[in-house]
Amino acid sequence: MAAERTLLLLSLLAVACASAPRPADPPLLKSALEAESDGARRFQRGDHAVAQRRFREAERLFASIDDPAGRARNRRHQARVALALGQAEAAMTLLEGAADTAAPLDADLLRGQALLAAGRAAEALPLLAGMAGACGAECPAAPSLAILRGRAALAQGDAASARQQAETALARLKDRDEPAETGNAWRLLAAARLAAGEAAAAQLAAQAALEIDRRLAVPEKIASDWLLLGDIYRKPLPGKASGDIDAAAVAYRRARDVAAAAGLDAITMSAKQSLHAIGMQKK
C-alpha cells in the first residue's frame, strides 16, 4: 500500500526521463511505452478495467522485444490495478512473475500490500520488518512501510502498535507533498483508534482521510473511508448503550454507491453486508 499512484508515476518517470535527446525509439518499443503511459493515465483517472488491458498490452510488447525489465514493471502495474479492485490473489500471481533487480523495493512493497489484502498478515510482518530495517527512517519509502506494518499489526490484533506506526507515518509525511499516503496514514490511525475503543478520535481521523481522498477523487479510498465511518458510528460512545445506527446506515450506503459506480465489487459487497448486519439492507 505504498502510494500506488505515486509509485506508478515515479516508475514511469524513471523510464521516460533522459538527460539528453536520444534517437527515436524503434516502433515496437514506442508502442510498448505508449501502452504503459496510457495505462498509467487510465489508472490515475480510476478507469481500472482499461488500465489493466493497456498494461497487459505493454507487457506483451515488452516480452516480444525481449525486455524483461519492461515486462516485470508492467506486471507490477497490473498488480496495483488488481489491488485497487480488491483482487489480492490475482495481484499475488502477477507479482510472482514481476521480479526486477532495478526496483526490488517497489516489488516488495506491493508484495507486502498483497499479502495483507489476502489476509496473510503473519507472512507480511517479517517481510515488512526486514524492509524497514534495510530502508531506515530517511528512506523515501519509510512512511509507506510504516503504514503497511501498522496494517499488519492491526490485522494481528495489536491496535497499540498500529496506532504507533500510523503516527510515525504521519510525522514522516508532515513535510512531504504526499497526500495519498497521508490519507492512508489517517485511515490506519482511525482503524487503530476504533480497535482500541476510541470512537470519537477514530471519527476525526477517518474524516481527515475522507477529506483527502475526496480531494484526490480516488473511488476505492473514498468508499473505504465511508465503510470505516460506518463501523465507527456503530460503536457506542462513552455513556451510550448503542451506536448511531442511522448514521452508520448513511455511511454504508455512501460506500456502496461509490463502490458500485466505480465497479469495485469487493467493497460494494462489504457495504451491502454491513447494511444487512444492521438491518438496513433494503433501504
Q: What is the pLDDT of residues 41-64, one digit of tens each?
A: 999 888 899 999 999 999 999 999
Q: How confident is the model at residue 232 (pLDDT cuts 50, 70, 90)?
A: very high
Own/partner long-range contacts of 121-128 (Cβ < 8 Å, ≥24 apart): 121/151, 121/152, 121/155, 121/156, 122/156, 124/148, 124/152, 125/149, 125/152, 125/153, 125/156, 128/152
Q: Same domain for 121 and 158?
A: yes
97 in any annotated domain: no
Q: Same domain for 186 and 257?
A: no
139 in any annotated domain: yes
CB 225 within 8 A of CB 209: yes
Q: What percent of the chain has pLDDT over 90?
A: 71
Choose among 244, 222, 249: nearest CA to 233.
244
The boundaries of the domain holding residue 174 are 105-193
86 in any annotated domain: no
Cell (9 digits) for 58: 505493454
Q: Averaged over 96-114, what is the pLDDT?
A: 79
Going by the DSSP 8-state scheme, the letter that residue 13 receives in this structure is H
Q: Same domain for 129 and 189?
A: yes
16 in any annotated domain: no
Residue 166: which residues within 8 A CB-CB, separation 6 or more? Answer: 146, 147, 150, 185, 186, 188, 189, 192
Secondary structure (3-state) at 87: coil
- What does each C-alpha distance from 9 to 15, 34, 41, 44 come to in angstroms? 10, 14, 9, 9
pLDDT recorded at residue 98: 65
CATH of the domain at 180: 1.25.40
Compute the 3-state secondary structure of the chain and give helix, strand, coil in percent, each to the nearest 5: 75, 0, 25
Which of 193, 226, 241 terminates a domain? The answer is 193
> Phi and psi dihedrals of 269, rounded to 5?
-65, -40
Q: Same domain for 170 and 114?
A: yes
Q: Same domain for 126 and 189?
A: yes
95 in any annotated domain: no
Q: Same domain for 189 and 109?
A: yes
| More reliable by pLDDT, 137 or 101 | 137
119 in any annotated domain: yes
Q: How confident is the model at residue 10 (pLDDT cuts 50, 70, 90)?
A: very low
Most confidently modeled of 21-25, 44-48, 96-100, 210-214? Answer: 210-214
Q: Same domain for 186 and 226?
A: no
What total of structural domains would you count in the chain? 3
Residue 3 has pLDDT above 50, yes or no: no
pLDDT recorded at residue 251: 98
pLDDT recorded at residue 18: 46
Residue 226 has pLDDT above 50, yes or no: yes
265 in any annotated domain: yes
Q: Same domain for 224 and 279?
A: yes
256 in any annotated domain: yes
Q: Calculate the average pLDDT of the chain.
A: 89
Q: Same domain for 123 and 186?
A: yes
pLDDT recorded at residue 100: 62
Q: Same domain for 180 and 222?
A: no
Q: Same domain for 124 and 45?
A: no
